[in-house]
A = this chain, B = another copy of it.
Amino acid sequence: MSLIVKKFGGSSVADNDKLRNVAQVVTQSHAAGHQVVVVVSAQGDTTDDLLEKAAGLNPGASRREMDMLLVCGEQMSASLLAIAIEKLGFPVISLTGWQAGMQTDSNHSAARIKKIDPERVRVELDRHNIVVIAGFQGINKFGDVTTIGRGGSDTTAVAFAASLNAELCQIYTDVDGVYTADPRVVSTAKKLNEISFDEMLELASLGAQVLASRSVEMAKRLRVNLEVLSSFRNVPGTIVKEVVKMENMQVSGVARDNNVARIALVGLRDMPGVAAKIFSLLAQAKINVDIILQSIGRHDTKDISFTIAKNYLDEARSLLEEHRESLAYESLVVSDQISKVSAVGAGMVNNPGVASRMFEALASAGINIQMISTSEIKVSVLIDLNDSDRAVQVIHQEFFG
C-alpha cells in the first residue's frame, strides 16, 4: 500500500459530470489499496467570476480580502468532489488549506509556503479516508487565509506529496502527458514516457503549460516523483523525475510561447552601467526579463533589446519612457507580434549540433530569426508570430522525423 497524491485542475472538475469522473478515478486508486490524497482547483471559471465580481465593486480591493473571497472557489470544489465520492460509497473527507495544515507567510495573493503540518491529513488517512484538499490556499500566523498564487494547486500537490512522503504525485490534466510538441500544432507529436525535471522546467517556463514551473522546481528540490496524465483517458502519462536516461535523445520536446513582447532601446551611450540601470529599473517593478541582446549601434552608441511577458509591455514601456532622460536613449521600439520557439533536451549538452540543425531547419523554411538564447539544455529563437506554427513543425520534423 502506497500513498499517492492526485491533483485535478479546474477543467477536470468543471461540472457535475466531470466531478463524477474524477470521483471514479480517485476511488479506483483507493480500491486498489492506495492511500489517496486529492488536491483540487476551483471549478472552471469560478475564480475568474469571483475576480470579476470583486473588480466591479472595487478594482483596488485589498489582497487580504481577495484571498478571503478566492479560497471559496477551491473549498467548494473540494466539498463537491467529496460529496461525489460519498455517492460511490467510499470514506472521504474534504479539508480547506488551513485544516490540512498548509502554513504560509502573509504575502496575500502570492504567499510562500512556510511549512506543512500534515497531522490532520495523517489522522484522516489512518481512518482510511480519501482526503480531498482545497488547493492554492493556506493560513498565515495571524489566522488569516492566504492564497499562494494562480496555478498554486500544482504546487500544493507537490508540497503535500513531499510532506507526506508520497510515492508519486499525479497531476491530472486534459492532455495525457508531455508531448514532443503541442499536438494541436504538430500532428505527429509523440508522448514522452519520461522526462527529467530540468527538461520539464524548461518546457514549463517555455509555455508548454502542462505544469506550473514553480511546482516542478519544488518537486526537483524535494525529490517528488511527478506524473502528468489525463483525467479522462485511463492510460499511463509522462513521468517527471531526476534520473537521467542512459541514452538521451538530443531533443525531448519543442515548446512555443506566444505571450512574448520585445522592447528595443536604440542609441544608448556606449558606457558601463547603462544595462544595469535599465534592468534594475525593470526588476524593481517586478517585471521579469527573458532574452537580452546587446549590439553595437552607429556613432559610439549601442542598442539593447530584450523580451518580457506580453502583459507587462505597457507597464515596461511607460517606465522606460518616464526615465528617458536618465537612460539617454534615442528611440524605443516595441513589438508584440513575436513568438519564442525552443528545442529542449538534456542530451544537448553533449551534442553541440542541435542549435545549427535548428537554425538550418528554420532557414530552409524561410523563417527569419530575430534573437537567439541558449542554455545547457535548450535553444530558443525569437521569430515573427505568423511563422510560429510553421517553426514548431519544421523543428519537430528535423528532430523527430
Binding site for B on A (CB under 8 A): 16, 19-20, 50, 53-54, 56-58, 60-62, 64-66, 68-69, 71-72, 75-76, 78-80, 82-84, 86-87, 92-94, 96, 99, 120, 143-145
Contacts of A83 in B (CB 8 A): 54, 57-58, 61-62, 65-66, 69
Contacts of A76 in B (CB 8 A): 50, 69, 72
- A84, closest chain B residue (CB): B57
- The smallest beta-carbon distance between A6 and chain B, in angstroms, is 18
Q: Give complex CA distance A86, B58 in Å.
A: 8
Contact with A80, one of B53, B64, B86 (Cβ below 8 angstroms): B53
Copies in the complex: 2
Q: Give complex CA distance A83, B64 in Å.
A: 10
Q: Give complex CA distance A2, B44 in Å.
A: 45
A-B contact pairs, 15 of them (CB 8 A): A19-B57, A50-B76, A53-B80, A54-B80, A57-B80, A58-B83, A64-B93, A65-B79, A66-B79, A66-B83, A68-B75, A68-B82, A68-B94, A69-B80, A120-B143
Q: Give complex CA distance A190, B249 in Å.
A: 85
Closest 5 pairs between A and B when the two form their complex, measured CB to CB: A58-B87, A68-B79, A72-B72, A69-B79, A61-B83
A sample of 20 more A-B contacts (CB under 8 A), given A66-B83, A69-B83, A72-B76, is A16-B53, A16-B57, A20-B57, A54-B80, A54-B83, A58-B83, A61-B83, A65-B83, A65-B86, A65-B92, A65-B93, A65-B94, A68-B78, A68-B94, A69-B75, A69-B79, A69-B80, A72-B75, A96-B145, A99-B144
